[in-house]
C-alpha cells in the first residue's frame, strides 16, 4: 500500500498531503488560499490509513474513477466481525456522499467527519459508536468530484454540474450545465452504480453540500410535499425540537426548483429517505484546523440522530393478532417505524411457499395500530401454512418491498362448527375465549375433519 500511495501522490502536483494522525479531528491536508480544503491526495492517504489501522471496522473500496482517473473512495464502516446484528437480523444500511461540488469544502468535511466520528468513537469504546457499527453499515463516499475539488471549482472537469446529472427528471428545470445526458459523467455514473449494486436496501441517504445552512428533503423537482411527508416532517420536528434549529424543508421551496439531483434520484428512483445537508458557507476559517469536530458539532449532532435512529426510517409492521372466525379474518397490525406504507398485504402461504390467500392492499400509518377485517373462505387455511406480511418500506413508489414472516403464535382460529354446536349454551364460545386469554395457541382444523363434517 505504501508504494501505491507514493505513486499516487507523486502524480499529484497540488499542495502537500501533510497531516498529523495524532490530532483526532485534524482535517487532512493544508489550507489552500486560506480556506478549508482537503486535497484528494491527502484524503486518499488518510482513508487508506483508516483501512490499514482499523480493518475490523473499515473496509475501503473504490466506487469507480473520476473523469481524470482519481479513485472515488467509499469508506465502509461496520463491525465486520459480524455479518448481522447481535440479534441475528440484518444490519441497517446508511449511504452518505460528499463533494459533488468541488468548491464546497465544508460539505465534504461533514462527510469526512461522519466517518471519522464513528472510527474514533469505536476506538474509544464510545457506547453510541459501538452500537451503531454493530447494528448498521455506513457507506461514505467522501469526495465525489476530486477533479473539481483540486482546481477549486463547482463543476467537474467537463464543466458539468454533477448534482444536475442524475437520471431523475434530468434537465427538466431551468438549470445550467446538467451534462449532455443523464449520467454522462464518470462520477455520477459511478455513484449511481454503487448505489444500485451495494446499498439498494438503504434506509437513509444524506448528500452533503455547502451553501445556505439548511437541510432539504425531496422534491427539488416539484413544490408539492413528497409521499413520505410524514416521515420527513417527523424528523424535521424532532431535530428542531431538541437538536438544532437548522431549517428543514422541501428542496423546491427551501431552495429553488432543481432537477436531476442525487437527492431526488435517491428518493424517486431508489426509494430511500434522502436529505441534502447544506452546511453554512463560511469556509474561510482563520487559524486552527484542528477543531473541525467543534466547527461542525451541531451538524454532526444531526447526523448522529439520523444515523443512530435509522431503524425507524421505514415502516415496521408487526402483526399483533390474526383471528379467523365466521368467514371473517381480523388483522391487528402495529407499525413501529416512522414511515407509512400504502401497499401492505397479509399473505397465507402453503408449506411449498405458494400464496393461497392474500388480503387486498391496505395502508398502515406510521406509529399506529391498524385493525382490518376481510371476508374469507375458512377452508383456504386448512393447510399447515405460514403467514407473511408483504409491504413497501415507505409510501414512495420506488420503495423496497419486504416480505416478513408472521409469528404463528398470534394466529387464532375459532372453529365455526363449535360455534354452531354451542349456540344456546352461552354468549361466547369457551374455546375462543380460552384461546383469546392465552393468546398463544394455534388451532388449525385438520382437513379430514372438515371433509367429514361438511359432507
Ligand atoms: Zn453543492
Residue from 221, 231, 136, 205 nearest 170 by CA: 221
pLDDT of residue 28: 62
Residue 359 and residue 372: Cα distance in Å, rounded? 10
Q: How far is the CA of 410 from the centre of ligand 1 (A)?
A: 50
Q: How far is the CA of 8 from the centre of ligand 1 (A)?
A: 27
Residue 448 and residue 428: Cα distance in Å, rounded? 26
Q: How far is the CA of 179 from the centre of ligand 1 (A)?
A: 16
Per the structure block, which three cell numbers stand in for 35?
480556506
Q: How far is the CA of 216 from the centre of ligand 1 (A)?
A: 12
Q: How far is the CA of 367 from the centre of ligand 1 (A)?
A: 34
Residue 175 and residue 181: Cα distance in Å, rounded? 13
Contact 176, 168 (CB under 8 A): no
Q: How far is the CA of 253 from the centre of ligand 1 (A)?
A: 16
Q: How far is the CA of 258 from the centre of ligand 1 (A)?
A: 12
Three-state DSSP class for 104? coil
Q: How far is the CA of 212 from the centre of ligand 1 (A)?
A: 10
Q: How far is the CA of 21 from the centre of ligand 1 (A)?
A: 29
Q: How far is the CA of 252 from the centre of ligand 1 (A)?
A: 15
pLDDT of residue 295: 83
Residue from 331, 350, 199 nearest 265 by CA: 199
Cross-strand pairs, 335? 317
Residue-level pLDDT, tens digit, the chain, 455 residues: 444 444 444 444 343 334 444 455 666 655 554 556 788 998 999 999 999 999 999 999 999 999 999 999 999 999 999 999 999 999 999 999 999 999 998 899 999 999 999 999 999 999 999 999 999 999 999 999 999 999 989 999 999 999 999 999 999 998 789 999 999 999 999 999 999 999 999 999 999 999 999 999 999 999 999 999 999 999 999 999 999 999 999 999 888 899 999 999 999 999 999 999 999 877 765 444 446 778 889 999 999 999 999 999 999 999 999 999 999 999 999 999 999 999 999 999 999 999 999 999 999 999 778 999 999 998 898 768 999 999 999 999 999 999 999 999 999 998 765 544 433 333 344 444 444 343 333 333 333 333 333 32
Three-state DSSP class for 300? helix
3-state SS track over the chain: CHHHHHHHHHCCCCCCCCCCCCCCCCCCCCCECCECCCCHHHHHHHHHHHHHHCCCCEEEEEEEECCCCCEEEEEEECCCCCCCCCCCCCCEEEEEEECCCCCCHHHHHHHHHHHHHHHHHHHHCCHHHHHHHHHEEEEEECCCCHHHHHCCCCCCCCCCCHHHCCCCCCCCCCCCCCCCCCCCCHHHHHHHHHHHHHCCCCCEEEEEEECCCEEEECCCCCCCCCCCHHHHHHHHHHHHHHCCCCCEEEHHHHCCCCCCCHHHHHHHCCCCCEEEEEECCCCCCCCCCCCHHHHCHHHHHHHHHHHHCHHHCCCCEEEEEEEEECCEEEEEEEECCCCCEEEEEEEEECCCCCEEEECCCEEECCCCEEEEEEECCHHHHHCCCEEEEEEECCCCCCCCEEEEECCHHHEEECCHHHHHHHCCCCCCCHHHHHHHHHCCCCCCCCHHHHHHHHC
The separation between the first and the last C-alpha atoms of the chain, rounded to the nearest angstrom, is 78
Q: How far is the CA of 23 from the centre of ligand 1 (A)?
A: 28
Q: How far is the CA of 454 from the centre of ligand 1 (A)?
A: 70
Q: How far is the CA of 97 from the centre of ligand 1 (A)?
A: 11
Q: How far is the CA of 314 from the centre of ligand 1 (A)?
A: 27
Cross-strand pairs, 368? none
From residue 350, alpha-carbon distances to 325, 358, 381, 388, 406 in Å are 20, 12, 9, 11, 14
Q: How far is the CA of 118 from the centre of ligand 1 (A)?
A: 24
Q: How far is the CA of 65 from the centre of ligand 1 (A)?
A: 20
Q: How far is the CA of 207 from the centre of ligand 1 (A)?
A: 9
Q: How far is the CA of 415 from the centre of ligand 1 (A)?
A: 63
pLDDT of residue 290: 47
Q: How far is the CA of 183 from the centre of ligand 1 (A)?
A: 17
Amino acid at each position: 500500500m505504501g508504494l501505491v500511495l507514493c505513486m499516487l501522490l507523486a502524480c499529484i502536483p497540488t499542495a502537500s498531503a501533510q497531516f498529523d494522525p495524532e490530532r483526532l479531528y485534524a482535517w487532512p491536508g493544508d489550507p489552500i488560499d486560506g480556506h478549508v480544503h482537503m486535497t484528494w491526495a491527502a484524503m486518499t492517504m488518510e482513508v487508506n490509513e483508516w483501512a490499514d489501522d482499523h480493518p475490523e471496522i473499515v473496509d475501503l473500496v473504490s466506487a469507480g474513477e473520476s473523469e481524470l482517473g482519481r479513485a472515488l473512495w467509499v469508506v465502509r464502516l461496520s463491525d465486520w466481525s459480524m455479518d448481522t446484528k447481535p440479534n441475528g437480523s440484518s444490519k441497517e444500511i446508511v449511504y452518505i456522499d460528499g463533494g459533488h461540488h468541488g468548491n464546497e469544502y465544508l460539505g465534504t468535511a461533514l462527510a469526512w467527519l461522519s466517518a471519522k466520528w464513528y472510527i474514533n468513537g469505536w476506538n474509544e469504546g464510545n457506547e453510541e459508536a459501538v452500537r451503531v457499527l454493530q447494528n448498521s453499515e455506513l457507506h461514505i463516499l467522501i469526495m465525489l468530484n476530486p477533479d473539481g475539488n483540486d482546481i477549486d471549482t463547482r463543476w467537474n472537469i467537463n464543466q458539468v454540474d454533477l448534482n444536475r446529472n442524475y437520471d431523475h427528471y434530468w434537465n427538466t428545470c431551468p438549470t445550467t450545465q446538467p451534462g449532455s445526458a443523464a449520467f454522462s459523467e464518470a462520477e455520477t455514473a459511478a455513484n449511481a452504480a454503487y448505489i444500485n449494486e451495494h446499498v439498494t436496501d438503504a434506509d437513509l441517504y444524506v448528500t452533503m453540500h455547502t451553501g445556505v445552512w439548511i437541510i432539504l428533503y425531496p422534491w427539488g423537482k416539484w413544490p408539492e410535499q413528497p409521499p413520505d411527508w410524514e416521515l420527513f416532517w417527523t424528523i424535521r420536528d424532532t431535530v428542531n425540537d431538541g437538536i438544532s434549529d437548522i431549517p428543514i424543508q422541501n428542496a423546491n421551496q427551501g431552495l429553488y426548483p432543481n432537477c436531476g439531483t442525487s437527492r431526488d434520484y435517491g428518493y424517486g428512483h431508489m426509494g430511500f429517505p434522502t436529505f441534502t445537508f447544506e452546511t453554512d458557507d463560511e469556509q474561510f476559517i482563520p487559524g486552527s484546523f484542528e477543531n473541525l469536530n467543534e466547527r461542525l458539532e451541531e451538524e454532526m449532532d444531526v447526523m448522529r440522530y439520523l444515523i443512530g435512529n435509522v431503524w425507524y426510517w421505514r415502516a415496521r409492521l408487526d402483526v399483533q393478532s390474526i383471528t379467523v372466525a365466521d368467514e371473517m379474518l381480523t388483522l391487528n397490525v402495529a407499525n413501529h417505524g416512522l414511515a407509512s406504507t400504502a401497499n401492505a398485504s397479509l399473505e397465507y402461504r402453503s408449506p411449498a411457499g405458494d400464496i393461497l390467500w392474500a388480503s387486498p392492499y391496505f395502508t398502515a400509518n406510521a406509529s399506529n395500530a391498524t385493525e382490518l377485517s376481510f371476508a374469507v373462505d375458512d377452508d383456504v387455511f386448512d393447510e399447515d401454512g405460514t403467514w407473511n406480511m408483504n409491504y413497501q418500506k415507505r409510501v414512495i413508489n420506488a420503495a423496497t418491498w419486504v416480505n416478513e414472516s408472521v409469528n404463528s403464535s398470534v394466529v387464532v382460529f375459532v372453529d365455526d362448527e363449535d360455534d354452531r354446536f354451542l349456540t344456546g349454551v352461552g354468549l361466547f364460545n369457551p374455546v375462543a375465549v380460552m384461546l383469546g386469554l392465552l393468546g398463544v395457541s394455534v388451532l388449525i382444523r385438520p382437513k379430514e375433519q372438515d371433509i367429514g363434517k361438511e359432507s
